[in-house]
Amino acid sequence: MADTARMDAIASAPPRANRWAIRLGSALIPVAHATGQNIVTVLGLRFMTDSLAISAGTAGLIFALVKIYDGVLDPAVGALSDRVRTPWGRRLPFLLAGGVAMPLGILMLFGAPDMGSVLLAQLFVTLALIIHASGYTLLTIPGFAMVVESSPDPHERTRLMGWRVYGNAAGLLIGTTVPGLILARMGPGRHAHLVMASAIGAVVLLATVLAVRLLARAPRTAPPEHPRPFNLVAQSRLAWLNRPFRILAITHVFLLFGTAIGSAALAYFSRYVLRAPDNWLSGYFLFSTIGMVGSIPGWVVFSRVIGKKSGYIIAMALFGLVNLTWLLAGPGELAAFSNLRGFLSGVAGGGTILCAYAMLSDAVRYDFVCSGERREGVFAGFTTLLDKLSSAAALAAMGAFLSAMGYVSSSMGGPIAQSVQAIHAVAICVAVVPAVSMLAGIMTVSRYQLQPDDLIENALPGEA
């Protein structure tokens, strides 16, 4: 453990002025990746089916394959960011590269030219999604690792996670409301989607550049002197043997499966069940963001009083119950009901994000306490690997389900007639699947037992 004290000294608390720069920089990274991710999560699948005439099953499969590629990329980026040596530290070059790649992928996807061939369109959007997903990985994994290594204080890490939730909320707001407003004003055509993509891409790039500048003086831990060769199987085994991390990772799979399907289905639900214009999405996500941002201080206090685990369970239960109420919605529903659902979903989302990542940071810290090694990137990579695989399974399942239920794709860009079965399938995806997924997550995380005393440096290694 000789290097342990040295490495924690490197990551000691920074001066107050720099501390606020780190907090703001930690928030801007999720602003960038959440903005770029949410536009694709909410509108990407619908754009492919309703504007590029790609079948729902094929579109879901493309998303799934890209997610699998991205998931395999995650541990490699995590391991590389743990061991690389540059004048700017281990993480910042990855962040900057991600801030360039993500906007490029967005522009390619929503600006896809008319190639006169569905097959060529499929290949082009696949390439666009690969570039977009690579940028997302380059932003998220080093960004999460920097939070873990920025402070040995678990309460400061929770505060940083709170700032990341604020950043995610801002990214959610920008990535969902701005596109809806642009499409409502300009129409659902190709040009409007390109304008939308350009605006969102600019936000991603600007937020990343500002974050890199603010984080340039953040505390850094040193890479290992003799790093082990990258081995995906070995890294997966390393992460899996950390029991608290393993439980949280499985819980996160259920959480992401439900939220991925729910988010992707909402654009279909508003169009074909509620029969609302695209600016309905802007209003819904505005209230969702208000709920998320407004609830963070409460979740921070609440999780300290009752524990992060209990807060996580309550947040997942609320999210599942709110989604179930979509089964009661229909055309002509009062906007107040939809806005209330958005607000409560945002409150639940704030709790799940804050508690999940605060608990994950504790589990990664537990590995350092037990091993004396700095492997934040490895664990961040494995976390996002499972996230991507669960999202891949979710989108593939949703696409296959919609196709099986008779959903009809087109190149018109707007709504077309769909069968009753297809509309029922959309309702199931937006309401039932997320609720069942949250229940499975609650059952899994109930087995988590890591305690604050287990995070003290001289605690004995062992499973909690």
- pLDDT tens-digit map of 243-283: 888 898 889 889 989 998 998 899 899 989 999 888 898 88
- CB atoms closer than 10 angstroms to residue 408: 15
In a domain, 226, yes or no: no
Output the CA angle 425-351-218, nearest 5 degrees: 120
CA distance 231 to 366: 22
Q: Which of 291-300, 306-315, 341-350 has the lowest mean pLDDT?
A: 291-300
pLDDT at residue 325, as a whole number: 96
Residue 387 lies in a domain: yes
Look at residue 2 and tell me if it is in a domain: no
Between 271 and 369, the more confident residue is 271
How far apart are the C-alpha atoms of 414 and 271, rounded to whole Å? 9
Residue 398 domain-assigned?
Answer: yes
**196 located within any domain:** yes
Q: Is residue 281 part of a domain?
A: yes
For tokens 């961040």, name the residue.
Answer: 380
Q: What is the 3-state secondary structure (H, E, C) of 115-170?
A: CCCHHHHHHHHHHHHHHHHHHHHHHHHHHHHHHHHHCCCHHHHHHHHHHHHHHHHH
290 with 346: CB under 8 angstroms?
yes
Question: How far is the C-alpha of 418 from the C-alpha of 55, rounded, in Å?
Answer: 14
If one counts the domains in the chain, the total is 1
Q: Is residue 60 included in any domain, yes or no?
A: yes
Main-chain phi, psi angles of 267, to 5 degrees: -65, -35
CATH number of 367's domain: 1.20.1250.20
Distance of CA 210 to the CA centre of its chain: 20
344: closest CA among 289, 262, 278? 289
Domain that holds residue 355: 16-219+232-455
- From CA 104, how far away is CA 27, in angstroms rounded? 22
446 pLDDT tier (thresholds 50, 70, 90): very high
Per the domain annotation, does 117 fall within a domain? yes
* Res. 296: pLDDT tops 60: yes
Q: Measured between alpha carbons, how far is 110 from 106 in angstroms, rounded to an integer?
A: 6
Q: CA 451, CA 80: separation in Å to the nearest integer?
A: 30
334 φ/ψ angles, rounded to the nearest 5 degrees: -60, 140
Q: CA-to-CA distance for 422 and 55, rounded, in angstroms?
A: 13
pLDDT in tens, 23-43: 888 889 899 999 999 899 889
